[in-house]
Amino acid sequence: MSQHANRSLLKLESVSKTYRGSPAKAVDHLSLEVMPGEIFGFLGPNGAGKTTTIKMIVGLLAPDHGRIIVDGHDVVEDPVSAKMKIGFVPDYPNLYNRLTGIEYLNLVADIHGVSASERSNRIEGLLSMFDLTHAVGDLIQTYSHGMKQKLALTGALLHNPPLFILDEPMVGLDPRSSRLFKDLMRSHCGQGYAVFFSTHILEVAERLCDKVGIINKGKLIACGSMDELRRLSKEADESLEDIFLELTLPEEADST
Amino acid sequence: MKTRLLSLILAQLNIFFSISHSRYYYLKKRQRLWEGILIAGSIIILALTLAFGVYKLAQGFCSQAALLNQEALTLTTGILAAQFLMLILGVALVISVFYFSNDLPILIPLPLKPWEVLTSKFAVILANEYLGLLVFIAPVFVAYGMRADVNWAGYIPSAILVFLSLPVIPIAVASILAVILMRIVGFTKRKDTLTIIGGFLLVGLIIAGQLYLQTRLSAPGADEEFIMRMLARANSLVTVLGRQFPPSIFATHAVSLAGTSKGLLNLCLFVGISAFSFYLFLVLGNQFFYQSVLSGFEAPKGKSRPFVSRAESAQAHERTPILSLAIAEMKLFSRTPVYALNGFIGFLMFPVLFVVLLVMGNDPEMAKLWGSLRAMPEFHRIGSLLVAAYFFVLVAFSGIPFSPFSREGKAHIWFLKSQPVSGQEVAIGKALGAEIMVIIGAIPGLAVFQYIARLHVSSFVIGVLLGIAASYSFCVFGVLLDMARPMLEWTDPRKAFKSNLNIIFGMLIGAAILFGIGSLIVTLLKRGYSGLMAQAVSGGVVALFLAAGLKLLQLAADRLWMRIEL
């Protein structure tokens, strides 16, 4: 275990966000914590606030209220230090099409200050794992969606980040890459690091996650391990899908 | 019921001018309504000011020409200048709109014929040109009408028809050249690079061809006897000047002789030639457009090299974040045809113009003039300031530092925003990238200028250093301006560059600064101060400007960077 053992790698304290011109809060006093070694699955229906939360964690949006702490660094107060600890891949990673794969990876490595020898080893290992070695000299515009996704993952893992944040990471990955990726998430957490990801694929979350958070209408309505979530549900052996549907059912449907 | 072509044209115009987008954000959501009003108000005031300036200029020109019985020369000059500029700038615009619009993957699968797509895109370019012509040509027509005491009932309809037809020929010619170029490029592997080089070659050829035509046509008639013979006949110089581009003679006569049968004939000729050139373009475009676009979709595969060498190259290229950002900025800009064609055009135009001046002025009289100029010590000092000003002009008119965040757009800005770099580092990296591009771009122009002017080495070096300092400080201001109000919402990369108000602000601010410093220097020289003093004062102003820019960067960059949200 690393130096992160006793400290949360991600902590959200009563975080809120309202978009300009919108009456409702996209995220409403959201608090959660991700500990080292944990894979945290962040679930919720469309428009629940998952992507807004992730955007605030990685600095794409500023929270209106509350604090976001990444490995001891406040994302608003000390964004550069906080981002040094994060590896992020969005749902649709639009990469610079007119750079080659290796140019993109070198840019990421330069920004994160990854040393020459370390970058060389990591690039080689990750590219070979994702089967991208043959394409890394080509312009990114020649890549398929899945290849772009894998290149973005490679870039996000290049500096070995303590906190790996992914928005719908399985989108566009073929079954082999998807399996590889799940193994990677597990081994990343094995180093004492953490993974925080949003997904719609409940089977993946159920099998992979140590902890699951369910957000609906901007509010965290449930959070805990699968066993803890089952305790919240009506029946003891419910699947995550049942629990999810039960918790996120529209109010009017619930009352009928 | 609207025809599908009309529907397509209206949709294209809507997207190009962001009509629904503006209506939604400014009117429905009332987001930053004040900003919309401020921008619209500034544009209207600026346009009216420019139009009034052009009107006064045309009025003065017309009064002078009237003394020689050549009032219609005002129209010919305006029409020729406008058509020439539209032709030169049209090449890059046409290539961008026709071949690099993001909507092509949506339009091509639709059951539309190539000519329908081309017509809708041509309409967008025309609409764009009309806005410019309203400021630069409409006042010329008004000034001529007032001065020549025309019959307004006949004059207004003719002027409107000529106005509407005016951009058709140059844009059609630029489009035909672009269609041919892109068809050739379509056969090659390095499409982006060849598009950029081909685009520049076309612009260079157009400028050189036009200037060659000008020198060739004016030479035989330059003797005094010929001029006197021409002056004896009313508006005869129209024919001489108009020989550079014959349709301009028809356009001039259509307006100046409006209401007469000769005017009507010229109007029909001008509109007819415009329609024919458009038809010719559609025939050619219908044949080749989709083929070129589809070959563009086939992204080229590079030659894969062994991984060992790439890993080695990764080691060799370990850089600081700022340098790495600057290099990425340069690569992304120069590899994107839409940006490179529009941004680097000034880097090419000035050297070509210098070369043409060199060729034209290659006679003993000019050589004697340059010789006597070089013998003056002040010439070298003033020359060094011209060298410095050249850098500044390139920054102001290339638009590169005024659009780095806008060019990232919503699609790509996530990357930098999620990286561990401060606003200051990002701004410095972007400004440095822009500055390096400007320095490289200045080399051809400076080489030609130095070949002509032959400044002392010390003066040339002082000019270059002063120019680099001045242009870097302006790059910093530009980057901060774009950081403060980035145009992130676009679907077509051309919009981030060609329709970006930050670039227009940059040009205006640059022109104002140059005018200010230029006036200061002229005043100093008139009052008997030496060229050395002018150099020292310019150096002081540049140092102040640089210090202010860096201080502003230190104070504002991080805050502005935080404000950019997705």
Model confidence pLDDT, tens digit, residues A96-119 = 988 999 999 999 999 999 988 888
Q: Is the pLDDT of residue B289 over 90?
A: no
Confidence of residue B203 (pLDDT cuts 50, 70, 90): confident
Chain A: closest CA distance from residue B190 (Å): 11
* A201 C-beta neighbours (distance < 10 Å), count: 16
Which of A199-213, B223-237, B417-431 is modeled with the greatest confidence?
Answer: B417-431
Please answer yes or no on whether B420 and A80 come within 8 Å at the CB atom: yes
pLDDT tens for B382-401 read: 899 999 999 999 999 888 99
SS3 call for A28:
strand
User: How near does any CA of chain A get to the CA of B352, in Å?
Assistant: 29
Confidence tier at B186 by pLDDT (50, 70, 90): confident
Q: B316 to chain A: nearest residue by CA?
A: A116
Q: pLDDT above 90 covers what percent of chain B? A: 35
Chain A CB contacts of B331 below 8 Å: 98-99, 103
Q: Is B528 exposed, middle or buried (0-12, 13-18, 19+ CB in 10 A)?
A: exposed
Contact B302 A100 (CB under 8 A): yes
Tokens of B278: 């458009």
What's A104-127 look like in SS3?
A: HHHHHHHHHCCCHHHHHHHHHHHH
- pLDDT at A251 > cutoff 60: no
For chains A and B, CB pairs below 8 A equal 125
Q: For the residues of B228-296, what is the DSSP string, one character each?
A: HHHHTSTTTHHHHHHTTSTHHHHHHHHHHTTTSHHHHHHHHHHHHHHHHHHHHHHHHHHHHHHHHHHHH
What does residue A223 show for φ and ψ, rounded to 5 degrees? -160, 130
Q: What phi and psi values does residue B555 have, to the nearest 5 degrees?
A: -80, -35
pLDDT at B261 over 70: yes
Name the minimum distance, in Å, from the CA of B128 to any CA of chain A: 28
The chain-wide mean pLDDT, for chain A, equals 86
How much is the mean pLDDT over chain B?
84
Nearest 5°: CA angle at B457, between B523 and B535? Answer: 20
Residues of B in contact with A111 (CB under 8 A): 321, 324-325, 419-421
- Measured from the Cβ of residue B212, the count of other Cβ atoms closer than 10 Å reads 13
| DSSP type of residue A13 | E
Nearest chain A Cα distance for residue B281, angstroms: 30
- Calculate the dihedral angle through the C-alpha atoms of B101, B104, B107, B109, rounding to the nearest 10 degrees: -170
Q: Mutate which of B310, B320, B412 to disrupt the A interface (most A C-beta within 10 Å)?
A: B310
H or E stretch at B482: helix B457-484
Taking CB atoms within 8 Å and a gap of at least 24, the contacts of A28-33 are A28/A217, A28/A218, A28/A219, A29/A65, A29/A66, A29/A219, A30/A66, A30/A215, A30/A218, A30/A219, A30/A220, A31/A66, A31/A220, A32/A213, A32/A220, A32/A223, A33/A8
CB contact (8 A) between residue B321 and residue A113: yes
The DSSP annotation for B370-429 comes to HHHHHHSHHHHHHHHHHHHHHHHHHHHHH-GGGSHHHHHHHHHHHHHHTSS--HHHHHHH
Packing angle of the helix pair B423-453, B404-417 (nearest 10 deg):
150
Q: Which of A122-126, B239-243, B449-453 has the highest mean pLDDT?
A: A122-126
Look at B154 and B225; give whichever has higher pLDDT.
Answer: B154
Q: Per the structure block, which two tokens stand in for B358?
A: 């060199």
Residues in chain B within 8 Å Cβ distance of A160: none
Residues of A in contact with B562 (CB under 8 A): 62, 76, 79
**Span A23-77, pLDDT tens digits:** 888 999 999 999 999 999 999 888 889 999 999 999 998 899 999 999 999 999 9
Q: Do A80 and B332 touch (CB under 8 A)?
A: no
What whole-number distance in Å separates Cα of residue A114 and Cα of residue B321? 11
- Predicted local confidence at residue B223, as pLDDT: 52
CA atoms within 13 A of residue B539's CA, in its CB half-sphere:
14
- Comparing alpha-carbon positions, the chain B residue that sits nearest to A99 is B332
Interfacial B residues in 303-342 facing A (CB < 8 Å): 303-305, 307, 310-321, 323-325, 328, 331-332, 335-336
Question: Using alpha carbons only, what angle is made at residue B345 by residues B342 and B350, rounded to the nearest 5 degrees?
Answer: 155
Q: Measure A249 CA to nearest chain B CA, in Å.
A: 29
Domain ranges of chain A: 10-85+161-255, 97-158
The verdict on a CB contact (< 8 Å) between B418 and A111 is no
Residues of chain B contacting A110 with CB distance shorter than 8 Å: 318-321, 323-324
Residues B358 and B434: beta-carbon distance below 8 Å: no
Q: What tokens were used for A153? A: 């993952």
List chain A residues with CB under 8 Å of B192. 98
Shortest distance between the Cα of A89 and any Cα of chain B, in A, equals 9
Q: Are A79 and B328 an interchain contact pair (Cβ–Cβ within 8 Å)? A: no
Chain A residues in contact with B332 by the CB 8 A cut-off are 96, 98-99
Q: Which of A21, A83, A116 sits opposite B29 (nearest CB)?
A: A21
Two tokens, residue B136 = 């630069």
Local structure of A164: helix, strand or coil: strand
| A-chain residues near B422 (CB < 8 A) | 79-80
H or E, element range at A40: strand A39-43
Residue contact B31–A95, C-beta within 8 A? no
At residue A59, φ and ψ (nearest 5 deg) are 90, 15
DSSP letter assigned to residue A142: G
Per the structure block, which two tokens stand in for A14? 């009563």
Cα–Cα distance measured from residue B205 to residue B207, given in angstroms and rounded to the nearest whole number = 6
Please give the residue of chain B at the shortest CA–CA distance from A77: B562
Q: Which residues of B are less than 8 Å from A157 in CB distance?
A: none
3-state SS of A130-141? Answer: CCCHHHCCCEHH
C-alpha distances in angstroms, B365 versus A9, A48, B371, B450, B455?
78, 79, 10, 19, 20
How does residue B201 score in pLDDT terms, banded at 50, 70 and 90? confident
**Residue of chain A whose alpha carbon sits nearest to that of B337:** A98
Measured CA to CA in angstroms, residue B99 lies from B30, B128, B172, B192, B289 at distances of: 35, 17, 15, 11, 9
For residue A39, list its beta bridge partners. A195
Residue with tokens 């309203």, as numbered in its chain: B134
What pLDDT is recorded for position B209?
73
- pLDDT per residue as tens digits for the range B327-385: 999 999 999 888 988 888 888 877 877 776 666 556 666 677 777 777 777 888 889 99
CA angle B546, B547, B549 (to 5 degrees): 65
How far is the C-alpha of B169 from the C-alpha of B273, rounded, in Å? Answer: 8
- Is the pLDDT score of B411 beyond 90? no
Positive/negative CA dihedral, B382, B383, B384, B389: positive
Closest residue, chain A, to B566 (C-alpha): A60
Sort out which chain A residues have CB atoms less than 8 A from B559's CB and list them: none
As given in the structure block, the two tokens for residue B189 are 């592997």
Alpha-carbon A115 to chain mean position: 25
Spatial neighbors of B315 by CB under 8 A, at least 6 apart, are: A116, A117, A119, A120
Give residues 107 to 126 of B whose Cβ lies within 8 Å of A. Answer: none
CA dist A72 and B57 (Å) reads 66
**Residue among A112, A127, A139 minimizing CB distance to B302:** A139
Q: Sheet harboring A65-70: ordered strands across? A: A27-34, A10-17, A65-70, A73-74
Separation in Å, CA of A76 to nearest CA in chain B: 8
At A73 the three-state DSSP class reads strand
Give the confidence band of B215 by pLDDT, cuts at 50, 70, 90: low
Distances (CA, A) of B194 to B28, B190, B191, B336, B426: 44, 6, 5, 11, 30
Out of B303, B336, B420, closest to residue A98 by CB: B336
Cα(B466)–Cα(B387) distance, rounded to whole angstroms? 9
Closest CB to B566 among A61, A102, A134: A61
> Per the structure block, which two tokens stand in for B414?
């996530």
Q: What number is the average pLDDT over the span B17-25?
A: 79
Rg (CA), chain A: 19
CA atoms within 13 A on the CB side of A54: 29
Is the CB of residue B302 less than 8 Å away from at least one CB of chain A?
yes
CB < 8 Å & 24+ apart, contacts of B538-542 = B538/B385, B538/B388, B538/B466, B539/B466, B541/B517, B542/B388, B542/B466, B542/B469, B542/B470, B542/B473
SS3 A10: strand
In whole angstroms, give the CA distance from residue B7 to residue B120.
9
Residue B13 pLDDT more than 80?
yes
Cβ contacts (< 8 Å) between A73 and chain B: which residues?
A: none
What is the rounded average pLDDT of the residues A240-248?
Answer: 77
Query: Which structure tokens are listed for B505?
Result: 């602000």
CB B385 within 8 A of CB B500: no
Contacts of A141 in chain B (CB under 8 A): 299
Chain A residues lying within 8 Å of B303, measured CB to CB: 137
Q: Given a cut of 70, is residue B474 above it in pLDDT?
A: yes
Which of B307, B308, B322, B489 has the most A C-beta neighbours within 10 Å, making it the best mutation to test the interface with A? B307
Per-residue burial over B378-412, b if 16 or more Cβ lie within 10 Å, else e, is ebbbbbbbebbbbbbbbbbbbbbbbbbbbbbbebb
How many Å apart are CA B412 and CA B367, to the nearest integer? 53
Check whether domain A10-85+161-255 has CATH 3.40.50.300, yes or no: yes
Question: How far apart are the C-alpha atoms of A245 and A247, rounded to whole Å?
Answer: 6
A51, A78, A81, A107: best to mutate for the B interface, most B CBs within 10 A = A107
Which tops the pLDDT comparison, A100 or B296?
A100
Contact A2, A191 (CB under 8 A): yes
Q: Using the beta-carbon criterion (under 8 Å), do B417 and A58 form an inter-chain contact?
A: yes
Through-space distance between the first and last CA atoms of chain B, rounded to whole angstroms: 40
Q: CA dihedral in degrees (B30, B35, B38, B40; nearest 10)?
A: -70
**Quick one: pLDDT band at residue B220, thresholds 50, 70, 90?**
very low
